[in-house]
Structures are given as C-alpha cells and as structure tokens.
Amino acid sequence: MNTASPYDHSSVVFADRETLLAHAYAIELEAAERYQALAEQMYSCGNDEVADLFAKLAEIEGKHAAELSLEHGAASTPMAAADYMWSGLESPEAIPFGDMHYLLQPYQALTLALAAERRAHAFYEAAAAQSPNADIRTLAAEFASEEADHVFLVLDWLQRYPEPEPDWDEDMDPPESL
C-alpha cells in the first residue's frame, strides 16, 4: 500500500510503451476477472440481478483486454507483481472485494463500477499528463478517452435503476452457521 489515500495517481509516469501496455492490459484483465468473480459471488448468494450486471461488465472488460493485445500488441504475460506501479491498493479498475454485500442493489453495483471506471480514467489521464514521451502521452490519452466512454456508459445504465431504500440491507432471516 503506497499512500494513506488510496488511488493517488500523482506518481504515475511511464518511460516506455511496453510498460504502459502491460499496465493497460493488466487493468482490463483484472477488471474483467474481478467482475467475473463478483458475478459468481452474487450468483452464489442468489442476487442474480446484480450478478448479471457484473457478468456483462466482465464481458466488456474482457473484450477491452483482447483489443489491447490485438490492436496494440500488449503482451498477455504479466510482469512481476512488484513491477506494476499501482497507485492504490490494487489495480485501479477492479472493484474492491471488500465493497461487496450480498443484498447489493443494481444502483449500488453500478455506482461501484462507475468509481472503478473513473479510477482507470484518472490513471490514464495522469499517465498522459506526467509521462515524458509524447507517443506515450498520446497512447495514454487514447486509453483515458476509452475509459471516459465506459464512464458515460455506466452513467447511462445508472439512470435505469432507482436508488436503494434505506433498509436495503435488512434480512429477516438470521445468518446460517456452517
């Protein structure tokens, strides 16, 4: 963990294209895998509506990762974990596992997704602003703009769902013991 405030992107600087691509690929792949894992969690506790949303987001992020490979030649082999300069607790576009709740409502799920997309956007924007090389700045800006599209997409989805009631997490049944 790098800072007291998670996701401070002030030191995101890329010296070469490969490293930026490796980060971009990891961001998308980890987002895809996280959404998939969250979808599975939600299916396993019967929250199919949110699970379906996460599954859809997983699909989108998965495609994004594949495009990075195809169009930009991003290597699919990860670097050593320590070589990633994540400016937060993990890669920026992954919703933290800790933010889950089994009764999560679509509005809340999309709010979390929105925050994740915004973090990715901010990451690329920082890279675009702070990296010394012009080509890298251009590529980072391109990625930032793609994330901005995702932000708008999620914002659009959000419109379709109501905000949760205050007692959204109430469960009449007690927890089970295993």
Partner 1 sequence: MTPTTPDTACALTARDYKSDLKPVWCPGCGDFSILMSITMAMAQIGRPPEEVAVISGIGCSSRVPAYTNCYGFHGVHGRALPLATGLKLSRPDLLVLAAGGDGDGYSIGGNHFLHACRRNVDLTYIVMDNQVYGMTKGQPSPTTPPEWDSALVPGGTGLRPFHPLVIALAAGANFVARSFSGDANGTAQIIVDAIRHPGFSLIEILSPCVTFRPEERDWAKQVHPAAVAETGDRAQAARRVLTDDGFNTGILYRGDREPYQPAFHPVEVEGADFDADFLP
Tell me, by CB under 8 A, how many residues bind partner 1: 37
The reply on whether position 177 binds partner 1 by CB under 8 A is yes
The reply on whether position 172 binds partner 1 by CB under 8 A is no
The reply on whether position 178 binds partner 1 by CB under 8 A is yes
The reply on whether position 96 binds partner 1 by CB under 8 A is yes
**Of 7, 84, 107, 161, which lies in the binding site for partner 1, with binding defined by CB under 8 A?**
84
Cβ distance to partner 1 smaller for residue 50 or 144:
50
CA-to-CA distance for 94 and 8, rounded, in angstroms?
15
Q: Which helix (H) or strand (E) holds 41?
A: helix 17-44
Helix (H, G, I), strand (E, B) or coil at 173: coil
The reply on whether position 60 binds partner 1 by CB under 8 A is no
Letters for 19-48 (x = contact with partner 1 by CB under 8 A, - = none) are: --------------x---xx-xxx-xx-x-
Output the smallest distance, CB 162 to partner 1, in A: 21
